C-alpha cells in the first residue's frame, strides 16, 4: 500500500515526509482494518514531524483524523461489518484500570497511546484500529467528516474546559481547523464569539461563520471564557488579560512554546483561571459527533491528494490552509 513516513523528526522546511510502499496491515483480535478514504491534516502531525513531540515510534505514519470503510474484521469483533463507514481518531488505547480511567478521565491515562504517534495512522491506503476506539460515521462527504475526528473533538473538549456560561462571551486565539469548529459549537449554544487571528483570510472566515468580531488586536469587550488554539505561549498573557473577573482560559494544544512570566495582579487575580486540555475521552467524541449530527456545522476544507501530503504539512506550517487540510486518499 502507499504510505508516507516521517522522514526525520525535527526536520523543518523542505521534505518532511518520505513516500514508501508498505504491506497492508492485518487486524489483530478486536481490531478493524480500515481502507482510508480521507485523512485530515492536524497541527499535531506537524508537531510529530518537526520533533516538538518526542518520537514514540520510528518510522511512523502520521494522521489521526481518518474516515474510511471497514475492510476486514479481527477475531472477536462484534457490532461492526465490512463496508461500514468508520472513523479513527487520536486516542487509540487506554488501560481501563488506572484511577483516571475508572473515574472517567481516560484522557489522563498514563498508559494511553495515540494514532500517528504511538502507532501508524492515516497517511496511507489502510490503517488498523481497535474496534472499541473507532467511531461509526454517517455517509456524509468524507472530507467534511475527517476534521471532526480531532479538530472537532478537541475543540469541543477545549470549550468544555473553558467553562463558558450560557450566553457568554468567548474569545478564540488562532483560527484554524479546530477553532472554526469550536466557534460554531459555541455560537449554536448562544455565545458571542470574538476571534483574534493574524491573517485576513482567517478573520474573514470567522466573520462569515457568525463571529461578533475578528481582528489581530484586543477583543472589544471583556471575556467570560477564552481558548488558545495557536501553539504560541506568548499569547497566554493577552488572553488572560482579556478575561473578565472569574473568567477561564483553556489552552487547547498538545504543544505550546514557553509562556512568559505572568504578573499576578494583571493576569491571574480576581479569580481568573488558566487550564490545559489533554487529549480527549471517547465520551467527548461521542458527544461532539452527536452534536454535529444534530446541528450541522460548516466545515471548511482545503483538499490535497495523498501524493501531496508533504505539501499539505508545509502549507499548514506556513498558515496557507483555509479551515482544515484534508488528504483525499481513496476518494
User: Where are the chain's structural domains?
Assistant: 2-137+300-328, 153-276
Q: Are 122 and 39 in contact (CB under 8 A)?
A: yes
Q: Which three cell numbers stand for residue 237?
A: 498573557
- Kindly give, in sequence order, each residue whose CB lies less than 8 Å from that of residue 138, ignoring residues fewer than 6 positions away: 85, 145, 293
Specify the residue for cell string 495582579. Answer: 265
Q: Are 138 and 83 in contact (CB under 8 A)?
A: no
Please give the helix or strand (H or E) that residue 44 lies within, else none: helix 43-50
Residue 14 banded pLDDT, cuts 50, 70, 90: low
| Closest to 223 in 3D by CA, of 256, 184, 196, 254 | 196
Q: How many C-beta atoms surround the C-beta of residue 15 within 10 A?
A: 13
Kindly state the percentage of the chain with pLDDT values over 90: 93
pLDDT exceeds 90 at position 143 = yes
| Closest to 155 in 3D by CA, of 173, 180, 120 | 180
Q: How many C-beta atoms surround the C-beta of residue 207 within 10 A?
A: 14
Q: Which three cell numbers stand for residue 202?
A: 482567517
pLDDT exceeds 60 at position 13 = no
Segment 170-194 shows an average pLDDT of 97
Segment 123-152 shows an average pLDDT of 97
User: What does DSSP say about strands 301-305 and 213-215: parallel, antiparallel, or unpaired?
Assistant: unpaired
Q: Which three cell numbers stand for residue 200?
A: 485576513
How confident is the model over 221-247, as pLDDT tens digits?
Answer: 999 999 999 999 999 999 999 999 999
pLDDT exceeds 80 at position 10 = no
Please give the helix or strand (H or E) that residue 301 lies within, else none: strand 301-305
Classify burial at 282, counting beta carbons within 10 Å of its beta carbon; exposed 0-12, middle 13-18, buried 19 or more: middle
Residue 201 banded pLDDT, cuts 50, 70, 90: very high
Average pLDDT score, the chain = 95
pLDDT of residue 66: 98
Please give the helix or strand (H or E) that residue 114 lies within, else none: strand 113-114
User: What does DSSP say about strands 243-251 and 273-276: parallel, antiparallel, or unpaired?
Assistant: parallel
Looking at CATH, the fold of the domain delimited by 2-137+300-328 is given as Quinone Oxidoreductase; Chain A, domain 1 (3.90.180)
pLDDT of residue 219: 97
pLDDT exceeds 80 at position 266 = yes
| Closest to 164 in 3D by CA, of 95, 213, 76, 225 | 225
Looking at CATH, the fold of the domain delimited by 153-276 is given as Rossmann fold (3.40.50)
Please tell me if the domain spanning 2-137+300-328 has the same topology as the one spanning 153-276. no
Segment 136-159 shows an average pLDDT of 96
Kindly state the percentage of the chain with pLDDT values over 70: 98
pLDDT of residue 11: 60
Q: Which three cell numbers stand for residue 101?
A: 480511567
How confident is the model over 23-39, as pLDDT tens digits?
Answer: 999 999 999 999 999 99
pLDDT of residue 225: 98
pLDDT of residue 326: 98
Segment 295-305 shows an average pLDDT of 96
pLDDT of residue 92: 97
Q: Which three cell numbers stand for residue 293?
A: 449530527
Residue 310 banded pLDDT, cuts 50, 70, 90: very high
pLDDT exceeds 60 at position 159 = yes
Kindly report the pTM of this predicted structure.
0.94
Give the CA count within 13 Å in the CB-facing half-sphere of 67.
24
Task: Return the bridge partners of 225, or none.
Answer: 170, 248
pLDDT of residue 16: 78
Lowest mean pLDDT among 26-35, 102-111, 231-240, 313-322: 313-322
How confident is the model over 44-77, as pLDDT tens digits?
Answer: 999 999 989 988 999 999 999 999 999 999 999 9
Residue 253 banded pLDDT, cuts 50, 70, 90: confident
Please give the helix or strand (H or E) that residue 310 lies within, else none: helix 309-317
| 151 SS3 class | helix
| Closest to 176 in 3D by CA, of 280, 302, 307, 66 | 302
Q: Are 36 and 66 in contact (CB under 8 A)?
A: yes
Preceding omega of 59 cis (within 30 degrees of 0):
yes
Classify burial at 97, counting beta carbons within 10 Å of its beta carbon; exposed 0-12, middle 13-18, buried 19 or more: exposed
Segment 81-94 shows an average pLDDT of 98
Amino acid at each position: 500500500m502507499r504510505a508516507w513516513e516521517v522522514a526525520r523528526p525535527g526536520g523543518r522546511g523542505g521534505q518532511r515526509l518520505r513516500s514508501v510502499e508498505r504491506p497492508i496491515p492485518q487486524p489483530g483480535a478486536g481490531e478493524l482494518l480500515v481502507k482510508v478514504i480521507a485523512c485530515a491534516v492536524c497541527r499535531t502531525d506537524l508537531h510529530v514531524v518537526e520533533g516538538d513531540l518526542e518520537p514514540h515510534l520510528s518510522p511512523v505514519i502520521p494522521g489521526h483524523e481518518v474516515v474510511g470503510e471497514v475492510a476486514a474484521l479481527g477475531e472477536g469483533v462484534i457490532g461492526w461489518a465490512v463496508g461500514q463507514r468508520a472513523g479513527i481518531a487520536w486516542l487509540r488505547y487506554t488501560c481501563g484500570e488506572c484511577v483516571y480511567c475508572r473515574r472517567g478521565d481516560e484522557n489522563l491515562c498514563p498508559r494511553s497511546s495515540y494514532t500517528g504517534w504511538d502507532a501508524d495512522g492515516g497517511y496511507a491506503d489502510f490503517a488498523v484500529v481497535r474496534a472499541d476506539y473507532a467511531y461509526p460515521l454517517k455517509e456524509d462527504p468524507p472530507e467534511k467528516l475527517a476534521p471532526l475526528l480531532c479538530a472537532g473533538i478537541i475543540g469541543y473538549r477545549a470549550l468544555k474546559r473553558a467553562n463558558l456560561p450560557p450566553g457568554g462571551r468567548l474569545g478564540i486565539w488562532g483560527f484554524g481547523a479546530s477553532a472554526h469548529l469550536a466557534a460554531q459549537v459555541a455560537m449554536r449554544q448562544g455565545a458571542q464569539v470574538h476571534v483574534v487571528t493574524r491573517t485576513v483570510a482567517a478573520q474573514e472566515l470567522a466573520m462569515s461563520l457568525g463571529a461578533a468580531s475578528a481582528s489581530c488586536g484586543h477583543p472589544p469587550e471583556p471575556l467570560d471564557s477564552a481558548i488558545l488554539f495557536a501553539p504560541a505561549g506568548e499569547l497566554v498573557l493577552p488572553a488572560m488579560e482579556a478575561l473578565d473577573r472569574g473568567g477561564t482560559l483553556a489552552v487547547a494544544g498538545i504543544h505550546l512554546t514557553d509562556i512568559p512570566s505572568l504578573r499576578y495582579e494583571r493576569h491571574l487575580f480576581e479569580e481568573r483561571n488558566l487550564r490545559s486540555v489533554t487529549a480527549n475521552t471517547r465520551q467527548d467524541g461521542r458527544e461532539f459527533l452527536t452534536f454535529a449530527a444534530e446541528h450541522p456545522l460548516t466545515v471548511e476544507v482545503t483538499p490535497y491528494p495523498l501524493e501531496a501530503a508533504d505539501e499539505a504539512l508545509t502549507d499548514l506550517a506556513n498558515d496557507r490552509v483555509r479551515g482544515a487540510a484534508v488528504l483525499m486518499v481513496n476518494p
